[in-house]
Structure 1
Amino acid sequence: MEKTIRVLSLEDLPYMKAMQTGIEDDYVTRIFERLVTTDQNRLFGLFLDDHLASVCGYSIFAKHYAMLGRIRSDIRYRGKDLATMLTSQVMDEAFKLPDIHWVGANTQEKNLPARRVLEKLGLSPQAVIYGATTKDVSQLESGSAGWNELGDVKRKKQWVHDLYVKTGAVFPYECYYPFPASPELFAEDELETWSFFENADATRVVIAKRDIKKYHYLHAIYPWEDLMDQPGLWETIASAHKKLCQEVQEDALIWMDFTKEQAQSLPENHQFDLPSPWMLYGTRRPKAEKGA
């Protein structure tokens, strides 16, 4: 069979629909047009003769990060290492873009085959994260006063620098999309739209951002493990959530990215939906050889 890898276009939708992936109502098919016509996304296909056997793509965030995903294989062609071959080329294509300095992928911790593929490609584990959601955190509130909202963008910059840029810690840039921090993740115009709430003694902060991934989310970011030991934290999150619901006029969700330690610290009566954790894998742009 002749093997070809190329960027997919809108004309390739019939090939995508003809794939037998075993996935019912695959969202990749539903958003295919967006994936192949917008600058942020690229979708590649591996063809065997005239059949689309595997797909994989990347999405660009903050101009410098590329997240691999939408990996699909036709079950009739599995066992030929096609997904690994395609994903490797897609990663190479992402690094050909001059502004990209990091490429990564998310997979569930229990998905050992996918993890082996990513590790084979040279991606290393960066973090294990629970993408937890809820509509109500009232069971976690203690009746304490909420925290003070910061209006000074310089103070916001100081917080993200100390917590993330200086340490290189993983920052949940969007729901589903965490990245190892760099200054590029924290553009001033974005910081101005994010809400920062600081506790009374200025030793803790929670960041509240708005996101839409089919539903409206209040994306709350709290990087410490003392979730249940900070008076006013949950009242602050609840207040920001209520404000968002009023503005969008629907029941928005609260999204928080928990570490394993944070998830284990929640009381038994917590109201979060805790799915299986995801593992973030990634690698930075290979350094050019000296003299090149």
Structure 2
Amino acid sequence: MITIRPLTTTDFTLYQQMETGVENDYMLHVYDRLITPPNNYLYGLFKDKILVTVAGYTYFPGGNVMLGRLRSDLRFRKLGYPTQLLHFLVDIIKQDPDVCFIGGYTHIENWPAKKILAHLGLTFIDKYHNFPAINLGPFIVDKTLIWDEVITHSEKRAALQTLMNENIASFVYEAYYPFPFSSCLISDDKFSAMRIFQSPLTQRYLFVDDDYKGEKLLNIRYVHEDIFTTPGLFHTIAELLKHEPDRLPWFNFSKTQYSELKHKDCFRLEEGWELHGVFI
């Protein structure tokens, strides 16, 4: 018999007993947060009272929801349970009138996961590469130019508005969580925390804010193709981190930016990602 229901604190032991094959599973450390509404929901699919598949979703500003946290017990794979559970979740999410976008992301080469996303009606939106830098030195060619910080509320809003004109497919709200960009994606709290810098030469903008994904990060978004040649960008980032040596610069590269990446030994490279989604 198949049963699907929200997971609770009492199910943690059952999750621990799953043979997922995932090394250093971060969900074991943040399980309580993942089951805490109103932003996070985690569901389990049970076969005869055995927890065989787990998946969940998270609410983000602007009516955006991201699917994720998919885990399956190796002993019950290839039986269609992940797709069954995710279909159940998508149906629940679609009942919420405040939701306008449902997303899912996976590694570029994870064809089984992309097949599941296609079954859910989530189509390809964007391809991107994100990972931290461990050495900015080779990219700092001009130590005299620091970009100007945008301070006033109106100027920051105007800077965000320029993203609407760039025709970008997605904007990384926080590390690992990209969404189609809209002004309502950036909540008031996010807007206040985000720092924006403008090049005095090109007038283009750099968007950064603090993040944490198991380690302290500076989440960096620069959407233009001249990321490695525009003067002062990397020096500005280095100056921001000068007094926080334990915070890593987290870069979000578009497909085109990544193709121009040199000095790859200066980064802790990770496999690329794809964002899929559906507007409802």
AA aligned to 2:70 is I
Evaluate the alpha carbon distance shift between residue 283 and residue 176 of structure 1 in structure 2; reply closer, same or farther with a 3 A threshold.
Answer: same
AA aligned to 1:22 is G
Q: Give CA-to-partner distance per residue, 1:243-283, whole Å, 9 cap, x none.
A: 4x0xxxx5110001101211122233661222110001111
Evaluate the alpha carbon distance shift between residue 177 and residue 5 of structure 1 in structure 2; reply closer, same or farther with a 3 A threshold.
Answer: same
Aligned ranges for residues 1-292 of structure 1 at < 5 Å?
2-62=1-61, 64-143=63-142, 144-164=144-164, 167=167, 169-201=169-201, 203-243=203-243, 245=244, 250-268=245-263, 271-285=266-280
Task: Using the TM superposition, name which of 217-226 and 20-29 deviates more.
Answer: 20-29
Separation in 2, partners of 1:189, 1:10: 29
Percent of pairs identical after alignment? 33
AA aligned to 1:151 is I
Q: Give CA-to-partner distance per residue, 1:136-176, whole Å, 9 cap, x none.
A: 31210112411111112212212222213784631111011
Separation in 1, partners of 2:236, 2:24: 38
Q: TM-score, normalised by structure 1?
A: 0.90
Counterpart secondary structure, 1:223? coil
Separation in 2, partners of 1:214, 1:127: 25
| Structure 1: runs of 5 or more not aligned | 286-292
| 1:189 Cα deviation from its structure 2 partner | 4.0
Evaluate the alpha carbon distance shift between residue 272 and residue 210 of structure 1 in structure 2; reply closer, same or farther with a 3 A threshold.
Answer: same
AA aligned to 2:278 is T
Q: TM-score, normalised by structure 2?
A: 0.93
Evaluate the alpha carbon distance shift between residue 188 and residue 33 of structure 1 in structure 2; reply closer, same or farther with a 3 A threshold.
Answer: closer
| Structure 2: runs of 5 or more not aligned | none
Is the 1:65–1:100 contact (alpha carbons within 8 Å) kept by the matching residues of 2? Answer: yes
Separation in 1, partners of 2:16, 2:92: 25
AA aligned to 2:199 is N
Separation in 1, partners of 2:201, 2:152: 17
AA aligned to 1:271 is C
Separation in 2, partners of 1:167, 1:161: 11
Is the 1:45–1:54 contact (alpha carbons within 8 Å) kept by the matching residues of 2? Answer: yes
Separation in 1, partners of 2:264, 2:211: 26
Separation in 2, partners of 1:27, 1:187: 26
Evaluate the alpha carbon distance shift between residue 63 and residue 11 of structure 1 in structure 2; reply closer, same or farther with a 3 A threshold.
Answer: farther
Evaluate the alpha carbon distance shift between residue 189 and residue 41 of structure 1 in structure 2; reply closer, same or farther with a 3 A threshold.
Answer: closer
Counterpart secondary structure, 2:35? helix
Separation in 1, partners of 2:269, 2:149: 28
Is the 2:168–2:223 contact (alpha carbons within 8 Å) kept by the matching residues of 1? Answer: no
Separation in 1, partners of 2:20, 2:262: 39
Q: Give CA-to-partner distance per residue, 1:82-122, whole Å, 9 cap, x none.
A: 10010111112122223221111110001011111101111
Counterpart secondary structure, 1:37? coil
Tell me how many residue pairs correspond in the alignment: 279
Cα RMSD (Å): 1.8
